[in-house]
Amino acid sequence: MDFVHLLVIPILVGTVATAQEAPVPQPTPAPTPAPAAPAQTSNYFNPSISVIGNFLAVGGTNEIENLPSASLRESELGFQAIVDPYARADFFISFSEEGANVEEGYLTFTSLPWDLLIKVGRMRTAFGKINTLHVHVWPWPDAPLPIVNLLGGEEGWSGDGVLVAKLIPLGDTFSEATLQVFRGESEGLFTAAKRSDLAFNGHYRVFRDLSDSTNLDLGLSYGFGPNGTLPDATTRLSALDATFRWKRLRTGLYRQVVLRGEFFRSSRDQAGGTESATGWFAGADYQFARRWWVGVRGEAAEHADDAAILDTGLAATLTFLPSEFSQLRSELRRRRYAGSYKANEILFQVQFAIGAHGAHPF
Amino acid sequence: MKTTRFLLGAVIFAGLAIPAQAKLRVVTSLQDFASIAEAIGGDRVETFALAKGYQDPHFVDAKPSFILKLSRADLLIVAGLELEIGYLPPLIDQSRNGRIHPGSPGYLDASIGCNVLQRPTQAVTRAMGDVHPYGNPHYWTDPENGRIVARAIAGRLGELDPEGKAAYEANLSTFEARLTEKEREWQAKMAPFAGTRIVTFHESWPNLARYFKLDIVGTVEPKPGIPPSPSHTLEIINLITAQKVPVILVEPYFDTKTPRYIGNKTGAVVLTFYPSVGGIPEIKDYIGLFDYDVNAFVNAMRGKE
């Protein structure tokens, strides 16, 4: 009961506030009845709260990526609210077996002139597409190899700093340029020895509706930062991402296709010269019934510090969503590490969300 | 310096030039509100609806192309009651347009003042399916609510564009007069079927049912947003047989397989029923929506007799 009120009240505030302002032309219609939840003004401005659980069970043998047989891999706590007339704040706190961690926590200035949007705080880097997404909205239970090998690990690239994004409309086509400046720290990727060691990322995105049912999303990213191997040694990263979607609006509840692919390149200064490594993944996901999806993924990535080591993989997924708020997914995965060691595994994931209704990922 | 002066000049010019001629850009979540806004705004407004009339209004993709539309909008009209919660909040945040943020003059929640049904009187949980804690958001299927929405839109357009206030008020009078006349016609056509028991796919129709005195006795969905299950389908078949339900109304975006199965077992007519303008090309505006649905219902019922 209290839990429901806690969630309901912050959202109510918006409705009530608008109700007071809205001029009701005469003759006066019946007033909106009082909301069902009792008013507790002290709770009015509490953020909306959500919790997402991500359970992962793994079968098979893999000596390289030795995932536990069963784990509550992540519990993500989200707090989101409007701060003032100029900004909103979003916090995502992730609890895992390693402990608690602020995955993202940022302030977004939403009413700036010149089509600008500014975020300040800790956030995922707008580098490629999958790297910007939280684990629970990925179409797979695991991170694709180029994220693991070239962006410093499953967690990918995120940082503390500032993001500036500007809309650059090309007629009816959406286009947006994003620039991010971070402290040069990201686990497994960048290390800032001194204060002036910063990481930068630029991202350009174009989105176009090809028809009512199809659209294409393209992105180009370039970033760099200090890798800590030698003084002034940097790692330079670039990526290309493409997503094609098909969904007939009338039957969209039952049938959808998403094709996606990303290509990554890393140039890493290290003892002995610069190591250039590449990686990619490509996937197709098909919704074949209201609550069912199937998908396939191919992937390959060299290691950022030794491009002679190439890992490759193939995976197939089957997903069932009992409702919008829970999801069961299995993945059959075959990975070949360094061209020799082979691992066949089955991953089984259960995800569940409680609390405020978040937006559907797109 | 020169550039600054040029920019300043351009800004001032833009500031002077635009309000004189440019139309008010109205973005709505539903085609129904766009249609009403067109009726009220006439040639002073241009409208764009995010959701198409033939698409489930709960599940609209938050496409970046919508961000562009919102970034240029002067007025955003939403159904409210959390109908748009799955896609609109992130779009508004990314629109860079403070004028359409909730609480701003450019944001109009059309549900305010409307007769909203099924407001929960007890604590809601998601065990009840995808329930809306503020009431059923499909309230525009009652033409009297359409009238309230039209008044709210006229009021808001007049605030945003005081020069057009008289025009909006005149258009509102015309719209209301036409609606009143049409309501008499619809009520007359539907009067013989008052009290008819119906089954619907989703809980989209309590407002329409109340308005035309139809009696919704069940839904094909066991709970809102939960697809049909075999056991619930069996219950509905028994219910339709026991209560002699003549018709099953199905929104255009739902699979008709289960309703047709139920229809075959019971003899009930499965009727695709359109909740929104644009559901099919013939439904061109808000008044046309009821014209079409009323005729479709009457024809289906006559076919049964």
B302 CB within 8 Å of a chain A CB = no
Q: What is the mean pLDDT of residues B113-131?
A: 89
Q: Which of B64, B125, B156 sits opposite A207 (nearest CB)?
A: B64
What is each CA distance from B171 to B34, B145, B185, in whole angstroms?
15, 17, 21
B242 CB within 8 Å of a chain A CB = no
Q: Which fold has domain B185-304?
A: Rossmann fold (3.40.50)
Q: What is the pLDDT of residue B130?
A: 83
- B134-155 burial, b at 16+ Cβ within 10 Å, e below that, comes to bbbbbbbbbbbbbbbbbbbbbb
How far apart CA A265 and CA A241 sit, in angstroms, is 12
Backbone angles phi, psi at A74, to 5 degrees: -155, 140
Least confident of A29-33, A77-81, A280-284, B23-27: A29-33
Q: What is the mean pLDDT of residues A251-273?
A: 95
What residue in A sits closest to B92 (Cα-Cα)?
A110
A222 located within any domain: yes
A80 located within any domain: no
A230 located within any domain: yes
A341 sits in which H/E element: strand A341-355
Rg of chain B on CA atoms, in Å: 22
pLDDT band at B10 (very low <50, low <70, confident <90, very high): very low
Q: What is the pLDDT of residue A357?
A: 82
Domain that holds residue A280: 55-69+113-355
A11 located within any domain: no
Backbone angles phi, psi at B129, to 5 degrees: 90, -160
CB contact under 8 A, B93 and A110: yes
Q: What is the pLDDT of residue A297?
A: 98
3-state helix, strand, coil in chain A (%, to 5): 10, 60, 35
Beta strands in B79-173 (DSSP E): 107-109
Give the contacts of A106 (CB within 8 A, at least 6 positions apart): A89, A90, A119, A120, A121, A122, A123, A163
Q: What is the pLDDT of residue A44?
A: 80
Which long-range CB contacts under 8 A does A181-184 form with residues at least 24 apart? A182/A125, A182/A225, A183/A159, A184/A225, A184/A226
User: What is the longest distance spanned by two Cα atoms in chain B?
Assistant: 83
Nearest CA to B48 out of B100, B103, B102 is that of B100
C-alpha torsion A202→A358→A256→A219, nearest 10: 0
A160 located within any domain: yes
Q: What is the pLDDT of residue B133?
A: 87
pLDDT band at A18 (very low <50, low <70, confident <90, very high): very low
Q: What is the pLDDT of residue A3?
A: 39
What is each CA distance from A84 to A13, A113, A310, B98, B101, in whole angstroms?
13, 17, 50, 12, 12
pLDDT tens for A275-310 read 999 999 999 999 999 999 999 999 999 999 999 999
Which of A115, A118, A320 to mutate to probe the B interface, most B CBs <10 Å?
Answer: A115
Q: What single-letter amino acid sits at A348?
A: F
Q: What is the mean pLDDT of residues A262-274?
A: 95
For CATH 3.40.50.1980, list the domain ranges present in chain B.
17-183, 185-304
How far apart CA B138 and CA B249 sit, in angstroms, is 15
Mean residue pLDDT of chain A comes to 89
Which of B40, B65, B117 to mutate to probe the A interface, most A CBs <10 Å?
Answer: B65
Least confident of B1-5, B44-48, B204-208: B1-5
Question: Closest approach of chain A CAs to the CA of B193, in angstroms?
Answer: 27
In the DSSP assignment, the letter for residue A181 is: E
Mean residue pLDDT of chain B comes to 92
Q: What is the mean pLDDT of residues B198-222?
A: 96
The answer on pLDDT for B15 being more than 90 is: no
- Report ipTM for this prediction: 0.86
Sheet containing B247-250: give its strands across. Answer: B215-219, B197-200, B247-250, B269-272
Q: What is the mean pLDDT of residues B284-290?
A: 97
B61 CB within 8 Å of a chain A CB = yes
Higher pLDDT, B9 or A330: A330
Share of chain B above pLDDT 70, in %: 93
A117 contacts in chain B (CB < 8 Å): 94, 96
A342 located within any domain: yes
The CATH number of whichever domain residue A279 belongs to comes to 2.40.160.10
Q: What is the mean pLDDT of residues B118-132?
A: 87
Q: What is the pLDDT of residue A33?
A: 52
How far apart CA A232 and CA A234 sit, in angstroms, is 6
How far apart CA B295 and CA B271 sit, in angstroms, is 12
pLDDT band at B5 (very low <50, low <70, confident <90, very high): low
pLDDT band at B132 (very low <50, low <70, confident <90, very high): confident
Number of domains observed in the structure of chain A: 1
Q: Which two tokens stand for residue B150?
A: 């039209």
Higher pLDDT, A16 or A133: A133
A145 located within any domain: yes
A239 located within any domain: yes
How far apart CA A149 and CA A124 sit, in angstroms, is 17
CB-CB contact of B297 with B288 (8 Å): no
What residue in A sits closest to B86 (Cα-Cα)?
A359
Give the contacts of A220 (CB within 8 A, at least 6 positions apart): A203, A204, A205, A238, A239, A240
Q: Which two tokens stand for residue A306?
A: 């030794």
pLDDT tens for A196-254 read 999 999 999 999 999 999 999 999 999 999 999 998 899 999 999 999 999 999 999 99
Q: Which of A208, A215, A250 sits opposite B55 (nearest CB)?
A: A250
Q: Which two tokens stand for residue B269?
A: 């007519």
For residue A1, with 0-12 CB atoms within 10 Å meaning exposed, 13-18 middle and 19 or more buried, which class applies? exposed
The answer on pLDDT for B12 being more than 90 is: no
Q: What is the pLDDT of residue B123?
A: 85
Supply the pTM of this predicted model. Answer: 0.88
CB contact under 8 A, B61 and A247: yes
Q: What is the pLDDT of residue A2?
A: 40
**Domain B17-183 CATH (choose: 3.90.1170.50, 3.30.565.10, 3.30.420.270, 3.40.50.1980):** 3.40.50.1980
Least confident of B92-101, B127-136, B201-210: B127-136
Q: What is the pLDDT of residue A130?
A: 96
Q: What is the pLDDT of residue A70?
A: 97
CB contact under 8 A, A36 and B116: no
Share of chain A above pLDDT 70, in %: 88
How far apart CA B294 and CA B37 sit, in angstroms, is 23
